[in-house]
């Protein structure tokens, strides 16, 4: 791995590393490079958890007639309509079945109720 970082950033990490050195050894981190790697991994994990919870999206409404759940996307300020059909879920913004709105829809109890009603089987969760 070859990374270029700004000197002040490097210095800050180096200082933190020196301070936490003993503690890190107990966690199995024995070098500065190892420390950077584990820090990046931690950050990435946090990021993934954040993305999964998708705090930028919220349930906006539900149309029982069309089995469409409306999801407000606070990043784009648009409202996505995710429609539950027998063959699965579709998003009217992305015209796909694997966009962020669909991912979020699968976390909503209302969607599961409709899926059950229509006999749609939930997808295998990709991990
Ligand atoms: Zn979408």
Whether residues 49 and 80 share a domain: the answer is no
For residue 49, being part of any structural domain is answered with yes
CA of 29 to the centre of ligand 1 (A): 41
Task: Compute, in angstroms, the gap from residue 38 CA to the centroid of ligand 1.
Answer: 33
- At 28-87, the pLDDT tens digits run 999 998 998 888 888 777 666 656 666 788 888 999 999 999 999 888 899 999 999 988
Is residue 33 domain-resident?
A: yes
28 and 65 assigned to the same domain: no
| Torsion 63-110-120-51 (CA) sign | positive
The CA 97 to ligand 1 mean position distance, Å, reads 8
Token digits for 101? 């709105």
Sign of dihedral through CA atoms 64, 68, 74, 77?
Answer: negative
- At 29-41, the pLDDT tens digits run 999 989 988 888 8
Q: Distance between CA 17 and CA 11 in Å, rounded?
A: 10
Tell me, in angstroms, the distance from the centre of ligand 1 to residue 19's CA. 45
Q: Are residues 110 and 61 in the same domain?
A: yes
Has residue 39 been placed in a domain? yes
- Looking at the fold, whether 39 and 81 belong to one and the same domain comes out as no
Ligand 1 ion: residues within 5 Å (CB): 80, 91, 93-94, 99, 101
Distance 125 CA to ligand 1 centre (A): 18
Question: Rounded to the nearest 5°, which phi and psi values hold at 51?
Answer: -65, -40
Instruction: Find the 126 Cα to ligand 1 centroid distance in Å.
Output: 17
Domain span at residue 46 reads 7-53
* Same domain as 112, residue 65: yes
Q: Cβ contacts of residue 79 below 8 Å, gap of 6+?
A: 60, 70, 71, 72, 73
Distance CA 10, CA 13 (A): 5
Averaged pLDDT for residues 111-117: 89
Number of domains in the chain: 2
Are residues 74 and 25 part of one domain?
Answer: no
**Do 27 and 63 fall within a single domain?**
no
Of 87, 115, 88, which is closest to residue 99 (Cα–Cα)?
88
């Amino acid at each position: 791995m070859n990374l270029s970082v700004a000197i002040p950033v490097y210095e800050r990490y180096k200082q933190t590393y020196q301070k936490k050195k003993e503690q890190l050894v107990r966690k199995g981190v024995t070098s500065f490079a190892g420390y950077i790697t584990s820090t990046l991994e931690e950050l990435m994990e946090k990021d993934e958890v954040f993305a999964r919870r998708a705090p930028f999206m919220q349930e906006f409404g539900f149309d029982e007639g069309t089995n469409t759940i409306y999801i407000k996307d606070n990043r784009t300020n648009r409202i996505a309509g995710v429609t539950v059909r027998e063959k699965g879920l579709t998003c009217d913004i992305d015209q796909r079945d694997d966009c962020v709105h669909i991912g979020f829809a699968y976390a909503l109890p209302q969607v599961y109720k409709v899926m059950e009603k229509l006999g749609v089987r939930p997808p295998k969760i990709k991990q």
